[in-house]
Amino acid sequence: MTHTQLDSFVAAYIECALWSSMDNSDENGGDPLDLSYTVEDIAPDTLATMVVDCERFLKENANDVSEGKETPECTAVERAGHDFWLTRNGHGAGFWDGDWPEEVGRRLTIAAEAFGECSLYVGDDDLIYCF
C-alpha cells in the first residue's frame, strides 16, 4: 500500500461519509452533510479514527481491493474507500452489490462489517463527530 493509495482511499471514504450522512436540521433528516461541510469540519479525533480505520482496512485487504474494477470515474482503491463506508454502515450498496467479483465482495463485506457502524453527527461546536 502506497501513501497515494491510502490518501485516495481515505478521501473516497470521507467523501462518501459526508454525502450519505444527514445534518438532521429538520424533521425529515435535513440535508446531506456534503452540502455544507468538508473534511476540514471533521473533529480532529474523529478524522484520526477514520484514517486509522481506513489504513487498517486497506492494509488487511490489499489483495482483494486490487481485484476491483477501474472505471473512468474512479480507481479500485477509491471504489473500495466508498464501499467501505457504505458496507460498514449497512447502506443499501457496498462491496456485495455486484461491482466486485462475488467472492472478493463477500470477503470485503465481512471485513467491513467487522469494523461496526460509524454514524456522523454535527456537534454543538459545528464539528462533525462519529458515534
List, for residues 21-78, the tens digit of each pLDDT value. 999 999 999 999 999 999 999 999 999 999 999 999 999 999 999 999 999 999 999 9
% helix, strand, coil for the chain, step of 5? 55, 5, 40
Q: Which of 46, 58, 116, 67 is nearest to 87 (CA)?
A: 116
pTM for the structure as a whole? 0.95
Check pLDDT > 90 for residue 98: no
What average pLDDT does the segment 98-121 reach? 97
Check pLDDT > 80 for residue 1: no
Its domain, for residue 112, covers 3-130
Cα distance between the two ends of the chain:
28
pLDDT band, residue 79 (cuts 50/70/90): very high
Q: Domain count for the chain, please give it.
A: 1
